[in-house]
C-alpha cells in the first residue's frame, strides 16, 4: 500500500540526480572560460635585481633560473654578470 510513496521517492531521487548531473556538466563546460575571467593576470609586482638591487616590474624583468627559483634582473647584462659571478664563486669554493 506504500508502493506509491516508494515510487515518488524514487522519482524524486532521479530528479535530484538529474539536477546534480546537469549542474556538474554546466560547471564543467563553463569552467575554462569562467576561470579565465575570474582570475585575471596577477598584478605586476616589483622584483629586485639581486645583482644591482634595482626594482623592476616582473613583466619587464629578465628572467634566469637560480638555485632557489626564478631570478629577475633589470637587464641582460645584470643576469649575465650574476651568472658569471655565481659560477666563478662556486668554482672557488
d(CA 42, CA 73): 19
Which stretches of the chain bind Zn ion, using CB under 5 A? 49, 51-52, 54, 74, 78
Smaller CB separation from Zn ion, 29 or 52:
52
Judge contact between 58 and 46, C-beta under 8 A: yes
- The candidate with the shortest Cα–Cα distance to 79, out of 70, 68, 91, is 70
Smaller CB separation from Zn ion, 19 or 51:
51
d(CA 51, CA 65): 14
Least distance to Zn ion, CB of residue 56, Å: 8
Smaller CB separation from Zn ion, 47 or 51:
51
Least distance to Zn ion, CB of residue 71, Å: 11
Amino acid at each position: 500500500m506504500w508502493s506509491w510513496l516508494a515510487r515518488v521517492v524514487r522519482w524524486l531521487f532521479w530528479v535530484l540526480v538529474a539536477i546534480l548531473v546537469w549542474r556538474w556538466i554546466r560547471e564543467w563546460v563553463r569552467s575554462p572560460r569562467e576561470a579565465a575571467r575570474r582570475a585575471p593576470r596577477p598584478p605586476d609586482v616589483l622584483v629586485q635585481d639581486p645583482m644591482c638591487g634595482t626594482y623592476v616590474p616582473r613583466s619587464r624583468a629578465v628572467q634566469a633560473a637560480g638555485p632557489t627559483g626564478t631570478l629577475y634582473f633589470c637587464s641582460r647584462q645584470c643576469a649575465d654578470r650574476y651568472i658569471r659571478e655565481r659560477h666563478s664563486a662556486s668554482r672557488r669554493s
